[in-house]
Amino acid sequence: MAGATNHDYHILPPDIWPLIGSFSALTFTSGMVLFMHEMANAHLVLGLGIAGLIATFFSWWSNVVKEAETGHHTPVVQLHMRYGMILFIASEVMFFVGWFWAFFDFALFPNALSEVSGGVFPSVAVEAVMNPFSLPLLNTLILLCSGTTVTWAHHSLIHGDREGLKKGLWLTIMLGILFSAIQAYEYAHAPFGFGGNTYSSAFYMATGFHGFHVLVGTIFLIVCLVRTYKGHFTPRQHFGFEAAAWYWHFVDVVWLFLFVAVYIWGGWGAPIH
């Protein structure tokens, strides 16, 4: 029969969104350069880039969802998508390895940058550090709980319990929002600013990028919740949810390393704010 699929692979039709996404990324990065150099039309270029990226994300992933719901995501396609998600998370791990490397380099060899650190770590410009056993510890417990609730949601989906899936997703999303709110409060009341010394720069870059990943993961889970209410996902086909759960567990694990290395070890012996 003409047009019938006789293989397990999904041959994608031509699509304009990869091209639009590429130009949007170029516009966004150009806008960031203009913005950082305080040049003319920076906000316009940056806004166009962000709008293009949001449109690309929404339209491209909407197409992926439609492909999943119309049977194009065969077991072979799902397997390869899992490989892709594993490689993506591996690249994210190496991204955070870079920040940990910088933090440990500053901490173990403060004399290398003595002109900005004073030869000590935390830097002499840092009068006090965060109390790791206050808000950071609370956020650690929140993320650990969220890892439990997203696992509950996953097991509910596998066993056909739609109500358990919805409750687990709602709880995970609320815990993610609570984590972000506490971290924003912590930043607003931090005893040191972003720049000026190695400790504060490494602290904000490492924890800030993690906070961004929590925000992305929360949005990821919200999309899964909306899809759940639309009747998507089955015990045999739910890669979209599985990818979100993997990403959330990755965020949990990174935070545990940040909590121990940055908050506890990195500020050991310094005055507590």
Cα gap 47→52, rounded to integer Å: 8
CATH 1.10.287.70 fits 13-72, yes or no: yes
Domain 73-265, second-level architecture: Up-down Bundle (1.20)
Where are the domains positioned within the chain?
Answer: 13-72, 73-265
Which token pair is 221? Answer: 């889970």
Cα gap 130→128, rounded to integer Å: 7
Residue-level pLDDT, tens digit, the chain, 273 residues: 444 456 677 777 888 999 999 999 999 999 999 999 989 889 999 999 999 999 999 999 899 888 888 878 888 888 899 999 999 999 999 999 999 998 888 888 877 665 555 566 777 667 778 888 999 999 999 999 999 999 999 999 999 999 999 999 999 999 999 999 999 999 998 888 887 778 888 889 999 999 999 999 999 999 999 999 999 998 888 999 999 999 999 999 999 999 999 999 887 766 676
pTM for this structure? 0.88
Cα gap 145→100, rounded to integer Å: 25
Residues 198 and 123: beta-carbon distance below 8 Å: yes
